[in-house]
Every structure is written in C-alpha cells, then in structure tokens.
Amino acid sequence: MSLDEIDRILSPEEEILPSSGFTASVMDAVRREAAAPQPIPFPWKRASPGVALAGLAMVFAVIIVADFTRVIRQASAVRVPSTWMSALAPIFHDPLHPEAVWLAVAFVVTLASIMVSFRLASGRA
Amino acid sequence: MNSGNDHSPNDHSDVEKVLAGDVSAFEGIVRRWQRPLINLAYRFCHDRGRAEEMAQEAFLRAYRGLGQWRKEAAFSTWLFALATNLYRSELRRIPASAVPLDDLPEIPDARACDGGLEDKDRHRAVRHAVSSLPAKYREALVLFYFHDMDVPAAARSLGLPEGTVKARLFRGREILRSKLPRLFAVPKLKEA
C-alpha cells in the first residue's frame, strides 16, 4: 500500500454531527460552573504565624536530634548499652540534664504551634 | 475539516463578553466550535458518545481557562491545543479499544474488488491500523489529517516542534505501510 493511498483513505474521514442537545448540555454545565462558589483561597496571611512557629519547631527538633545522637554516641563509646531504653535512661533520670530541657522546649513549641494552627483554621483567632 | 481562523472577530467579542460576566455569550463559541471539537475527539476514540463527552469537557476547560488565552494567537489554535491535550490524556487514562496491529484479522474474501477489498473494508482496516499505532505516532497522524495535512497546524495543536511532528508522521506512515500489505494480500488460488 502506498503513502498516497493511505493519505487518500485517511483524509476524507466521515464527519459526525453534534447531537441535538449538545449545545444545551454544554451550556448547562457551563452555567453550573459559573454558579458554583469560587474556591476559598488558603489564608496564608492568617496562617503565617503558625507556619513560622512550625518552622521554628522543626529547626529545634533537628538541633535536638543532632544533639541527642551525639550524646548517644558518647555514651556508647564509654559502654555499649544493651537497649535504646538504657541509653535514654540517664537523660530522663536526671531532670537537670540539658537534653531533657531541649526536648521539653521542643514539645511545648510543637504543641503551641498545633494549637495556634487549629484556632486559626477554626476561625476563632 | 475547518480548523481555521474565519471566526476570529466573533470569538474575540464572545470571549470579551464572557470574561465580563456574560456567561450566555459562551454559547456562540460552543455553536461555532462544537463540530470540529467533536470530530477531533471522534478521530481519537472512534466512539460517538465518548467523543461528545470529551468535547463537552474540552468546552468546560476552555470556559475555565478563557482568561489564559493570549490574544496574539488565534482562538482556534488555543482551543485545539487545549482539546488535543485533554483528548490525549483522556485516552491515556482510558484507551480506546484497539486491536494490536499484528492481531488485526484477515478480512474475508480479499478478492472482492481490484484484487483486494471493497473500499469500505479498506478504509476500516486502515483506520483500525491507525488506532493501533503507538500513541505518539497515532496522535501526529490524527492531527495531521484532521488539519487537512497541515503540519504547522498539527504541530501547534500538539505543542511540538514541526520537525518532531514531521518525523513522527514519517515513522507512523512507514509503520502503516509496512503492516498494511498483509491485510490486503490476495490469497493464492490453489492449482487445480
């Protein structure tokens, strides 16, 4: 089969006519679309304090995890802990341990940012 | 198939009206372009009902995106590009039923006319073969013939460089040419 013959067959392909209700159906859909309320944009302005707090909490968390990892490494250099719990035990047993304070700060900041976000989202701020 | 620029002033004024809040002005756009958009969809899916559904979705998207039409290009160019993108992704999501090229059945009684098939059967077989091509060749061929063999128009609808469309057309037609003779082969008569 030649290319000319392929061209000849494919060019005058049958043309179909729109069904009688097509225009009305499209216009109904368009009117529904026009009548639908516009999507509510995300309230970035109101959410920005929460977002900033969440960012800060994230930075704190990274610092704490890095610090915590360093402490674990130091502890395992002295003696090999049998489990993770035994590695964590000295931190929680000593309330003045600086890592415990950092953990508490991170926890409070995270909790506060979650609460602020919830208040902003529910419109009670 | 008319995919040209004849309706440009009407399109322009209707778009302005719709953007100003007159939704009913969109009806003029639908009336002018429903036939080409449905026919373009039909060439992709070969199913009348589905073609109308896809064309309706194309009009809805056009309505939503009317503000994005940059008026330096013809409205038809923008509309066809939008519709082509939609049809392509729709067919990727739910492909039209197509028989693989190698599985196309031999058509009975290949001696019907001029040593081959009746025109109707030949046409059907060629269209089946087109719909069995890999998507990138099929799309190029569908758009090329839809736009009356106008490569630049097909390239604009596909959002591809003309060179790429030419290469795909060449390859697609070569595949068709190599596969189709088998379908039109005249069976050898047994010697008495």
In a shared domain, residues B84 and B119: no
In a shared domain, residues B43 and B82: yes
Chain A residues with CB-CB distance to B184 below 8 A: 1
Nearest CA in chain A to B18: A34
Range of the structural domain that residue B22 is part of = 1-95
Q: Find out whether A9 and B126 touch, Cβ atoms under 8 Å.
A: yes
* Confidence bin at B95 (pLDDT 50/70/90): confident
Interface size, chain A vs chain B, as Cβ–Cβ contacts under 8 Å: 79
From the number of C-beta atoms within 10 Å of its C-beta (0-12, 13-18, 19+), residue B66 rates as middle
Residue B183 tokens, joined: 């379908």
- Of B122, B136, B140, the closest CA to residue B180 belongs to B122
Task: Identify which of A2, A27, A34 has the shortest CB distance to residue B30.
Answer: A27
Q: Which of A1-5, A86-90, B58-62 has the highest mean pLDDT?
A: B58-62
Q: Is the pTM of this model over 0.90?
A: no
Q: Find out whether B152 and B162 touch, Cβ atoms under 8 Å.
A: yes
Statement: residue B100 has pLDDT above 80: no
Distance from CA of B62 to the nearest CA of A (A): 10
In a shared domain, residues B71 and B33: yes
- Interface predicted TM-score (ipTM) of this complex, two decimals: 0.75
User: For the domain that residue B167 is a member of, what is the CATH number?
Assistant: 1.10.10.10
In a shared domain, residues B78 and B145: no
Chain A residues with CB-CB distance to B123 below 8 A: 9
Statement: residue B107 has pLDDT above 60: no
In a shared domain, residues B170 and B125: yes
Least confident of A97-101, B46-50, B111-115: B111-115
Position B134 in a domain: yes
Residue of higher predicted confidence among B169 and A89: B169
Position B151 in a domain: yes
At B184 the pLDDT is 54
In a shared domain, residues B16 and B84: yes
Quote the CA–CA distance of B24 and B44 in Å, as a whole number: 29
**Percent of chain B as helix, strand, coil, to the nearest 5:** 70, 0, 30
Final residue before a domain boundary, out of B95, B123, B150? B95
CB contact under 8 A, B60 and A7: no
Total domains present in chain B = 2
Dihedral of the CA atoms B168, B138, B156, B48 (nearest 10)? 170
* Confidence bin at A118 (pLDDT 50/70/90): confident
